[in-house]
A and B are shown apart, each in its own frame.
Chain A
C-alpha cells in the first residue's frame, strides 16, 4: 500500500496558544468584571450551600462544552477537544477570579474555608464563561480578513440554542445576583409584568429579525419563522433566568410563586442576551 502523501499535522505554535489564552483572560475580564465588583455576588458565594455550588460547576461545565462545540477556542470541535477546552477555561476562570479577588482584598483569610470555596466557585464559573466567549469571539476567525469579513456559514439550530443560552447567562448574570431584581419583580403589578414580557418579546424579536444587527442574516430561526423563533428564544431566556435565580438563592427568598415577577424582570436582560448572543456569539461572527 502506498503511504499517504498528506503531511502529519504539526502542533500549534506556543505563540498562538498564548494569544488564545490572552484573549481568554481578556474575555474573562470583559464579561465577569461587573460580578467580581458586586457585593451581592460575594455574599452569595458566602451563603450558597456546597450542593448548589457543585450543581453550578456541573451546569457551567455542560454549558461550556456545548458552547465550545459550536464556537470553541481552537478550530477542532471533537467532543474530546470540547472537554479539554472546557476544563482549561474553568481552570483559567478559577485562577483568574481567585487572583483578582485576592488583589482586590476580597479573598477570605482562610483559603480552604467554605466561604473561600463558595466565593471562588461563583466568581470562577462566571469568569470561565467569559474566558470561553472571549477566546472564541475576540480573535480573528479562521479565514477571516482584517476587515472582519469571513465566510459566514449558517449555524445549526442546536448551535443557535446553545449560543442563545450562553448569551442569556452572560448578560443576565450581571443583574441576577442583585437585590433589585427581587425588589422590582415583587413590586410590579401583573399588568406591568405582562407588559415587560411583551417588551422582551418585541425587543428580542426586533434584534433577531428586523434590526439588521451584525450576523442577523445568519439567523435561521430555531423554529421556522420570526414569531416562533422569538418565542423559542424567550423560552431559553426564561430558562436561563430561572436557573440563575435558583443559583443565586432568590427562589428561596421570594418563594416559588413569588419568583414569577423576578423571573420576568430578569427575563428582559436575558432575552436581550439570548437574541444578541445568537447574532454575536455564533461561530461564524
Chain B
C-alpha cells in the first residue's frame, strides 16, 4: 500500500524532523533526570525574604530526589510569634514561593522551618 501512496512532501518532512527533535529532546531530558538527577527523599530548604510590614515572603526549595506534598512551613519571629503557610507541592529541583502574615510587625531575626510534608 505504501508503494501506491503519495510520497511525503517537504512540509511533512519538516514537521517530522521537528517532531523528532522534540521527542528526542524530551526522552533525553527524562533519561538524564533518571540517571543523573537527584535521588533519595525530599530535601526541603526554607529561606525567608525581606519583611514587608506584616507580610514575610518565604521560599521552599526541594534539593532531594522525591516530591514533597502539602509542605507546611512555619516562620517565627524572635518574640515568639509564628505564622504558617502550606505549599501544595514542591517538585524535585523546584522552588515554591509563598507569603505568611503576622498579626503584629514581626521582630527580626526571623527563623523558618518545615513543620511537615507528605510523600505522595
* A residues whose Cβ falls under 8 Å from a Cβ of B: 9-14, 17-18, 21, 43, 46-47, 49-51, 53-54, 57, 74-78, 80-81, 84, 87-92, 94-95, 108, 110, 112-115, 117-118, 120-121, 124, 249
Contact = CB atoms under 8 A, between A and B. Distances in A.
Given A47-B120, A110-B94, A117-B33, A77 B2 contact: yes
Nearest to A24: B15
B93 A117 contact: no
Interface size bracket, B side: 35 or more
A78 B8 CA distance: 13
Contacts of A114: 33, 37, 91-94
Contacts of A113: 91, 93-94
Interface stretch (B20-28, B47-55, B78-86, B98-106): B20-28
Contacts of B69: 47
A108 B11 CA distance: 31
Contacts of B6: 9-12, 75
Given A17-B15, A47-B69, A76-B5, 6 more contacts: A9-B7, A11-B9, A75-B4, A91-B20, A112-B29, A115-B94
B7 to A, nearest CB: 5
Interface of B: 1-2, 4-12, 15-16, 18-23, 26-27, 29-31, 33-34, 37, 67, 69, 89, 91-94, 120
B9 A50 contact: no
A78 B1 contact: yes
A50 B8 CA distance: 34
A11 B2 contact: no
A249 B120 contact: yes
Contact of A57 (B8, B26, B67): B26
17 contacts: A12-B8, A14-B10, A47-B67, A47-B69, A75-B6, A87-B16, A87-B20, A87-B23, A91-B15, A94-B23, A95-B22, A108-B91, A113-B94, A114-B33, A114-B37, A118-B91, A121-B30
A84 B16 contact: yes
Nearest to A43: B89
A75 B7 CA distance: 10
A90 B31 contact: no
B2 A81 contact: yes
A124 B26 CA distance: 10
Given A47-B67, A114-B91, A114-B93, A88 B15 contact: yes
Contact of B89 (A12, A47, A249): A47
Nearest to A84: B16
A43 B90 CA distance: 10
Given A46-B67, A77-B1, A249-B120, A88 B91 contact: no
A120 B26 contact: yes
Given A14-B11, A47-B89, A92 B19 contact: yes
Given A90-B23, A114-B91, A115-B92, A84 B8 contact: yes
Given A50-B34, A50-B37, A91-B22, A12 B16 contact: no
Given A11-B6, A47-B89, A77-B2, A53 B23 contact: no
The residue in B8, B12, B18, B27 that gathers the most chain A C-beta atoms within 10 A of its C-beta is B12
A36 to B, nearest CB: 17
Contacts of B11: 14, 17-18
A84 B26 CA distance: 17
A77 B1 CA distance: 6
